[in-house]
Every structure is written in structure tokens, then in C-alpha cells.
């Protein structure tokens, strides 16, 4: 099956209750398949009037108790940003799939890119928490979609599944894991509104439970009511950001290949990491001590993993299908302890192993 299909399988296995979307290539298969299958599973699919409305409806459904997601691509991801920020400040769990294509604007429809990495982190205005996972295979699209729902619920954050046209449309033979029920944490029935208790991640409440909630995109205090108090505002936004940042270690997902004796490390993610692994193996077979670090969770960024290798290698090569969005993060984390070499393509073509090989050998 293809990556977009694996995403659908995982969402259904996770107990998806609501999907709202808008047609956009290369993510449309996700909507089409869920239109067919979600009502059969008892959930609701709706094609909304636009991308903005899709994101809003997903948040509304989540607040009403449904596990909810949407899927989109470049231009649609841009349009969803304001309401992604709303999900972040209101701590509404939801999953947003972005099958990346070449941008900006309509760009090169609909060829692959990794140009939305920074938009996934900083696309909405203001400081905010976000988690972004990036799969490199069809099977991993399944696994990370499941994980996205689990993280969204556990931390009450929007989770971005940052896939790309290659991973979304690539077909691979996969054996899906046995579906396991995904429990919904944080839904204890104790406590009430405004009980003065402070939480790291507050228990999730839903509409229709008789709690008379106020959910607002304004800065609010622990009771949920809006506030202009600088102290309460500071407390709220730091808690929101820190609930993700302080869990960086447990959110980190990395694969390591041949790093123990590596003189040069490649840091690559998504579709490019597969070319990188092949190039690394070729370089190894030619006697070069080269390794690969592949983060599957880009946000929060695994600084500690970069710091660890920066102290042991002479250079880190960062191949990306953008002009260096993660390379800047790698440079920041490496903090001058090793050279950071960028290798970038933004012409819609996948970075190939054979073009990476000389970069690794010359590093």
C-alpha cells in the first residue's frame, strides 16, 4: 500500500471519530479513503468549504469528544495555521497530516519537498507548543500516525504528521501491526472547573458533560476565563511550551546507523534519510567511517542527540529537500564543535545516494 493509505489504516485503528478536509494533492487519497470508510466505522467525514474550516471543524469535534484529524498539503497547511495556534492555546488534541509539496505558493504541483519543516514549527503566530513527526516509509507512516494520536491526547497538543509526496505516494509491501485500542488518557472524572489546581497537562474535558466549560483563544487563567494579567499570561504560555519541551527526551525518536566509530555523520529525515542510508552504506563499503542519525520527531528538535554526535565526529552532513531548515538547527545544537555541511535540493527531485556519496567522502 502507499503511505497515504497507511495513514488512513492507522487513523481508523486509532479510533478516528471525525475527519474534516479539503481536496489538495498529494494528500487527497487520505480524504477519499476516509470518506469511504470512516462512516462504516461509525465516524464522520466531511469535506468542508475550505482548509480553514476543516481545521476549525476538527477542533470543534475534538472538543466534543471525538478523536479528530485533517490532512492537507503546502498551501492548505498555510491556511490552517491560525487555527493550529488555536488548538495549541486551547490544548485541543488533534492530528494534522501535511503531505509536503514544493512551495512557496502553488509551487511545483505536486512534487515532493521538505520545505514545511519550519512552518510546522513556527507557522502560527506567537510562542506555542507543537509536535511534528516525520516518517520515512509506508510502515512508519502507519506507526507515526498512531503515535501522533497518542501524543495529541497525552499532551493535549496539535501533532503534525510531516510526510511528503514521495512517502505519501510510494507503495511498499507492509505488514501492519495488530491494531490495539489506543486509550485516551487524562480523561479522569475527578475535579471540576476552576478548582485552583495547577496542572502540567490538565485533564481533558469535553462539551456536553455538564461542566459548563469556557474554551477561548485568549490568554486565560486556570479557571479558563480570559485574563489580561501579565503574571497569568506568562504562567500560561510557559506551561504550554514547557509541557512539550520538558518531554523532549521521551518524544525523541531517532534511528542510528554506524555512528559508534563515525568520523562523519549524516543527519537526515523523511524520504531523504533513505537515500542517505544507502549513501552511507556505499561509503562504508569504500572504507569511509560514516554514520547516519535519523530523527523521526523533528519538533521538539532532538538537540541532545546532535550534541552527542557533534562531540565525536569531525563533520555533520545535512541533506534536505529545502534550503537548510534543519541544518540551521543542527548548527545551533552542534555549537561549533564540528563542521556542518549542507546539501540541498529544491528542484522537486529526490536527493539520490549517488550524489550524496561524494559529499560524504569529501566531508
Partner 1 sequence: MQVTDWLRTDHLPHIWCTGCGHGTVLGALIRAMEKAGVDRDRTVAVSGIGCSSRAVGYLDMDTLHTTHGRALAFATGIKLARPDLKVIVLAGDGDLAAIGGNHLIHAARRNLGITTICLNNGIYGMTSGQLSPLTPGGYRTTTSPHGHLERDFDLCRLVQAAGATYVARSTSYHVQQTILLLSRALAHDGFAFVEVFSQCPTYFGRRNRMGDPVAMLEWLRDSTVPAGQAARMTPEELRGRWIIGELHRATDVPEYSRSYRRLIDRLRGADGGPDAPGAVEGTPLPEQHPDVEAARAD
Cα distances (Å, whole numbers) of residue 34 to 6, 15, 95, 262: 12, 12, 14, 44
User: Of 68-107, which residues contact partner 1 (CB under 8 A)?
Assistant: 68, 82-83, 86, 106
Verify binding: residue 308, partner 1, rule CB under 8 A.
Answer: no
The residue among 76 and 291 lying less far from partner 1, judged by its C-beta, is 76
20 forms part of the interface with partner 1 (CB under 8 A) = yes
* Cβ 32 vs Cβ 198: under 8 Å: no
In the complex with partner 1, which residue's Cβ is closer, 199 or 207? 207
By beta-carbon proximity to partner 1, the closer residue of 168 and 291 is 168
**Touching partner 1, residues 154-173 (CB under 8 A):** 169
Please say whether the dihedral angle defined by the alpha carbons of residues 46, 52, 58 and 64, taken in this order, is positive or negative.
negative
Q: Which helix (H) or strand (E) holds 276?
A: helix 270-285
Interaction between residue 283 and partner 1 (CB under 8 A): no
Q: Does 332 bind partner 1 (CB under 8 A)?
A: no
Q: Can you tell me which of 187, 207, 242, 358 binds partner 1, judged by CB under 8 A?
A: 207
Q: Does 56 bind partner 1 (CB under 8 A)?
A: yes
Q: Which of 7, 30, 31, 58 binds partner 1 (CB under 8 A)?
A: 58
> Per CB under 8 A, does 216 bind partner 1?
yes
**For partner 1, which is the closer residue by CB, 219 or 258?**
219
CB of 243 to partner 1, least distance (A): 22
Q: Give the per-residue contact string, 23-52, with partner 1 (x = CB under 8 A; - = no).
A: -xxx-xx--xx--xx-xxxxxx-x-xxx-x
How many whole angstroms separate alpha carbon 26 and alpha carbon 71? 10
Least Å from the CB of residue 344 to partner 1: 24
Interface pattern 109-128 for partner 1 (x via CB under 8 A) = xx------------------
Binding of residue 349 to partner 1 (CB under 8 A): no
Q: How far apart are CA 329 and CA 159, in angstroms?
A: 20
Distance CA 224, CA 202 (A): 11
Binding flag, residue 57, partner 1 (CB under 8 A) = yes
Per rule CB under 8 A, is residue 18 in the interface with partner 1? yes
Under rule CB under 8 A, residue 210 binds partner 1 = yes
Cα separation values, 127 from 80, 94, 122, 159, Å: 17, 18, 8, 16
Distance of CA 219 to the CA centre of its chain: 25
Is 323 a binder of partner 1 (CB under 8 A)? no
User: Is position 265 an interface residue for partner 1 (rule: CB under 8 A)?
Assistant: no
Pairing of strands 297-299, 131-133: antiparallel
Applying CB under 8 A, does 358 fall inside the site for partner 1?
Answer: no
Q: How far is the CB of 307 from partner 1 (least distance, A)?
A: 38
Whole-number Å distance between alpha carbons of 158 and 165? 22
C-alpha closest to that of 243 among 196, 298, 296, 300 = 300
Question: Which set of grid coordinates corresponds to residue 156?
Answer: 493535549
Residues 183, 133 contacting (CB under 8 angstroms): no
Question: What gap in Å lies between CA 303 and CA 187, rounded to an integer?
Answer: 32
Sign of torsion over alpha carbons 95, 98, 104, 106? negative
226 forms part of the interface with partner 1 (CB under 8 A): yes
Q: For residue 263, what is its C-alpha cell?
A: 568520523
Judged by CB under 8 A, the residue of 104, 127, 199, 218 near partner 1 is 218
Closest CA to 105 of 118, 116, 93: 116
Residues near partner 1 (CB under 8 A): 1-2, 5, 9, 12-13, 15, 17-18, 20, 24-26, 28-29, 32-33, 36-37, 39-44, 46, 48-50, 52-54, 56-66, 68, 82-83, 86, 106, 109-110, 169, 176, 179, 207-208, 210-218, 225-226
Amino acid at each position: 500500500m502507499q503511505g497515504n493509505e497507511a495513514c488512513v489504516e492507522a487513523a481508523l485503528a486509532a479510533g478516528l471519530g471525525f475527519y474534516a478536509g479539503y481536496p489538495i494533492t498529494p494528500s487527497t487519497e487520505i480524504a477519499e479513503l476516509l470518506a469511504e470508510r470512516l462512516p462504516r466505522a461509525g465516524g464522520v467525514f466531511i469535506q468542508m468549504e475550505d482548509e480553514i474550516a476543516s481545521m476549525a471543524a476538527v477542533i470543534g469535534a475534538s472538543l466534543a469528544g471525538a478523536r479528530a484529524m485533517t490532512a492537507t498539503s503546502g498551501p492548505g497547511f498555510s491556511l490552517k495555521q491560525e487555527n493550529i495556534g488555536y488548538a495549541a492555546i486551547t490544548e485541543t488534541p488533534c492530528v494534522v497530516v501535511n503531505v509536503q509539496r514544493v512551495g512557496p505558493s502553488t509551487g511545483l504541483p505536486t512534487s515532493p519537498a521538505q520545505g514545511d519543516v519550519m512552518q510546522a514549527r513556527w507557522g502560527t503566530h506567537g510562542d506555542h507548543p507543537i509536535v511534528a513527526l516525520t516518517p520515512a516509509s509506508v510502515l512508519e507512516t502507519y506507526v507515526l500516525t498512531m503515535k501522533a494520536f497518542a501524543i495529541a491526547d497525552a499532551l493535549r497538543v496539535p501533532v503534525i504528521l510531516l510526510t511528503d509526496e514521495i512517502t505519501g505516494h510510494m507503495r511498499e509491501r507492509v505488514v501492519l501491526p495488530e491494531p490495539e485500542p489506543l486509550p485516551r488518557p487524562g480523561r479522569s472524572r475527578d475535579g471540576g472547573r476552576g478548582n485552583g489546581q495547577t496542572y502540567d497537562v490538565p485533564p481533558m474535558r469535553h462539551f456536553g458533560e455538564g461542566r459548563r466549560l469556557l474554551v477561548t483563544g485568549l490568554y486565560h487563567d486556570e479557571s479558563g476565563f480570559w485574563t489580561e494579567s501579565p503574571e497569568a499570561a506568562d504562567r500560561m504560555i510557559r506551561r504550554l511550551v514547557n509541557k512539550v519541551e520538558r518531554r523532549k527526551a521521551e518524544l525523541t525518536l531517532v534511528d542510528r546507523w554506524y555512528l559508534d566509530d563515525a568520523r562523519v555523520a549524516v543527519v537526515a529525515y523523511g524520504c531523504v534519510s533513505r537515500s542517505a542510508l544507502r549513501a552511507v552504506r556505499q561509503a562504508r563499503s569504500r572504507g569511509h567511517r560514516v554514520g547516519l542519525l535519523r530523527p523521526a520527531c523533528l519538533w521538539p528538535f532532538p538537540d541532545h542527540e546532535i550534541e552527542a554526535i557533534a562531540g565525536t565526529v569531525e563533520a555533520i552532513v545535512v541533506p534536505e529537500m529545502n534550503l537548510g531548515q534543519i541544518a540551521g538547527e543542527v548548527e545551533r545544537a552542534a555549537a561549533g564543535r564540528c563542521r556542518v555541511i549542507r546539501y540541498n535540493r529544491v528542484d522537486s527531485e529526490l536527493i539520490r545516494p549517488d550524489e550524496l556519496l561524494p559529499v560524504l567522502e569529501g566531508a
